[in-house]
């Protein structure tokens, strides 16, 4: 009897195994609905990229800056060898921001140029009738003229973006016109290493920015310009995942200053600040890591005259909270010159109120 039961159980087991032989575990098979939704989401994002790029591409230009020539014979020979583009030319990107032909780009793209050629997305070329720039902010403005209005990009607000939001970088990397790359906003803070080259706050992105992208627009998924691509951080000079753009609010302000005054008028305090580290917070007995650390105070300038000292921590300026060192630099640059402004600091653990009167930044 026991033997019969065992034989019967064995037959049932073998029959089950035969029936399920070759079948994959049901847990590893994705549901059709989930897969379809994933594909739909990916296609929707792709459409958003495509639509955004199409909105702004007609206004994105390639900028060819011919440098000043000291040897006219060499210039003639260069023109014979390659009449369209010389190896010594500066090649960059730009974006048209008005129907009458004003273009935003980078200072380093048009610096010391004798002639600037603007090539549009449709192949049309224009010679710039005017250009001006500011090296401190690495922003330039180029003017072209035509009988009909130019296509121009809509400007957005970088302040509305959050870290993690999708953006597109558009330009002419390595001379490849109308190249589009996607990424996210990685950070909206300033960076001390970058501040040694150019001034102010930046949008950090992992969208691919290569040589030639400089001056091109960084746009949101509505196709609005929220920044001007300006630099990459790389050991090789190529893309390694970290790029920077000038926020469009600051770029617009710089453009207006250049057009109205021929230069950018900014406040100047005569102080060097740095990011507040965790070690600084502990050593200075601070409640948190908010503020910027005063490193150097230049004698005879507003910061020194206000009583500011090294190792002070700036937490407020002119009613504005200072969370990072770049917040203070940005606030000083765009504040009223010649008027006493409030400055809140922490010194040896105690809050101190000061008054500082800024001067205009000395011309470099």
pLDDT of residue 210: 77
Q: Name the percent of the chain lying above pLDDT 70.
A: 77
Confidence band, pLDDT 50/70/90 cuts, at residue 40: confident
> Is residue 138 annotated as part of the catalytic site, yes or no?
yes
Q: Name the percent of the chain lying above pLDDT 90.
A: 54
Q: Exposed, middle or buried, 310 (CB in 10 Å: 0-12/13-18/19+)?
A: exposed
Over residues 105-116, the mean pLDDT reads: 94
Residue 107 has pLDDT above 60, yes or no: yes
Query: Among 93, 214, 306, 326, which one carries the catalytic annotation?
Result: 214
Residue 224 has pLDDT above 90, yes or no: yes
pLDDT of residue 256: 95
pLDDT of residue 179: 87
Over residues 64-87, the mean pLDDT reads: 56
Q: Is this prediction's pTM over 0.85?
A: no
Torsion angle of the four alpha carbons 300, 305, 311, 316, in this order, in degrees rounded to the nearest 10:
-130
- CA–CA gap between residue 202 and residue 230 (Å, rounded): 9
CATH class of the region 267-360: mainly beta
Confidence band, pLDDT 50/70/90 cuts, at residue 83: very low
Q: What is the pLDDT of residues 246-267, one digit of tens each?
A: 999 999 999 999 999 998 888 9
Residue 118 has pLDDT above 90, yes or no: yes
> Is residue 108 annotated as part of the catalytic site, yes or no?
yes
What values do phi and psi take at 353, rounded to 5? -105, 130
Residue 353 has pLDDT above 90, yes or no: yes
Domain range summary for the chain, segments of one domain joined by +: 56-143, 158-261, 267-360
- CA–CA gap between residue 75 and residue 69 (Å, rounded): 7
pLDDT of residue 221: 96
Q: Exposed, middle or buried, 121 (CB in 10 Å: 0-12/13-18/19+)?
A: middle
With the C-alpha atoms ordered 147, 148, 153, 154, is the resulting torsion angle positive or negative? positive
User: How do beta strands 359-360 and 102-105 pair?
Assistant: unpaired
Q: Exposed, middle or buried, 268 (CB in 10 Å: 0-12/13-18/19+)?
A: middle
Give exposure, 322-354, as e/b (b: 16+ Cβ within 10 Å). Answer: bbbbbbbbbbbbbbeeeeebebbbbbeeeeeeb
Over residues 158-173, the mean pLDDT reads: 91
Query: Among 78, 89, 138, 327, which one carries the catalytic annotation?
Result: 138
Mean of per-residue pLDDT scores for the chain: 83
- CA–CA gap between residue 334 and residue 43 (Å, rounded): 43
Over residues 283-293, the mean pLDDT reads: 89
Over residues 72-99, the mean pLDDT reads: 64
Residue 230 has pLDDT above 90, yes or no: no
User: How do beta strands 179-187 and 166-171 pair?
Assistant: antiparallel
Q: What is the CATH number of domain 158-261?
A: 2.40.10.10
Query: Among 52, 90, 108, 158, which one carries the catalytic annotation?
Result: 108
Cβ 315 vs Cβ 322: under 8 Å: yes
Confidence band, pLDDT 50/70/90 cuts, at residue 6: very low
Over residues 354-359, the mean pLDDT reads: 96
What values do phi and psi take at 107, rounded to 5? -60, -45
> Is residue 107 annotated as part of the catalytic site, yes or no?
no
Q: Which residues lie below 8 Å from residue 168, measured CB to CB, with a gap of 6+?
A: 49, 52, 53, 180, 181, 182, 183, 207, 218, 219, 221
Cβ 267 vs Cβ 332: under 8 Å: yes
Tokens 């072209």, located at residue = 144
Please tell me if the domain spanning 158-261 has the same topology as the one spanning 267-360: no
Fold assignment, 56-143? Thrombin, subunit H (2.40.10)
Two tokens at 10? Answer: 């064995």
Q: Which residues lie below 8 Å from residue 42, measured CB to CB, with a gap of 6+?
A: none
pLDDT of residue 94: 96
């Amino acid at each position: 009897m026991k033997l019969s039961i065992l034989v019967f159980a064995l037959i049932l087991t073998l029959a089950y195994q035969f029936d399920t032989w070759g079948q994959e575990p049901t847990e590893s098979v994705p549901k059709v609905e989930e897969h379809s939704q994933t594909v739909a989401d990916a296609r929707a994002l792709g459409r958003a990229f495509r639509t955004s790029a199409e909105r702004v591409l007609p206004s994105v230009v390639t900028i060819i800056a011919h440098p000043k020539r000291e040897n006219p014979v060499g210039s003639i020979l260069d023109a014979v060898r390659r009449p369209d583009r010389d190896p010594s030319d500066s090649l960059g990107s730009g974006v048209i921001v008005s129907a009458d032909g004003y273009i935003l780009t980078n200072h380093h793209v048009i610096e010391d140029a004798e002639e600037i050629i603007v090539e549009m997305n449709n192949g049309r070329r224009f010679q710039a009738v005017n250009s001006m720039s500011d090296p401190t902010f690495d922003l330039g403005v180029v003017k072209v003229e035509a009988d009909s209005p130019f296509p121009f990009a809509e400007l957005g607000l970088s302040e509305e973006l959050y870290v993690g939001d999708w953006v597109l970088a558009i330009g002419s990397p390595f001379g490849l016109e109308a190249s589009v790359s996607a990424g996210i906003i990685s950070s909206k803070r300033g960076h001390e290493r970058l501040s040694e080259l150019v001034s102010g706050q930046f949008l950090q992105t992992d969208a691919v920015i290569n040589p030639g992208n400089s001056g091109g627009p960084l746009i949101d998924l509505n196709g609005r310009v929220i920044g001007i691509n300006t630099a990459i951080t790389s050991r090789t000079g190529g893309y390694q995942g970290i790029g920077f753009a000038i926020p469009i609010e600051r770029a617009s302000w710089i453009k207006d200053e250049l057009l109205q005054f021929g230069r950018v008028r900014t406040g100047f305090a005569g102080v060097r600040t740095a990011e507040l580290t965790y070690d600084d917070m502990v050593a200075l007995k601070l409640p948190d890591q908010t503020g910027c650390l005063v490193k150097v105070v230049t004698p005879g300038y507003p910061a020194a005259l206000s009583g500011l000292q090294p190792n002070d921590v700036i937490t407020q300026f002119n009613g504005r909270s200072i969370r990072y060192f770049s917040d203070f630099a940005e606030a000083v640059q765009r504040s009223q010159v010649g008027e006493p402004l409030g400055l809140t600091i922490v010194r040896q653990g105690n809050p101190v109120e000061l008054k500082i009167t800024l001067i205009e930044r000395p011309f470099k």
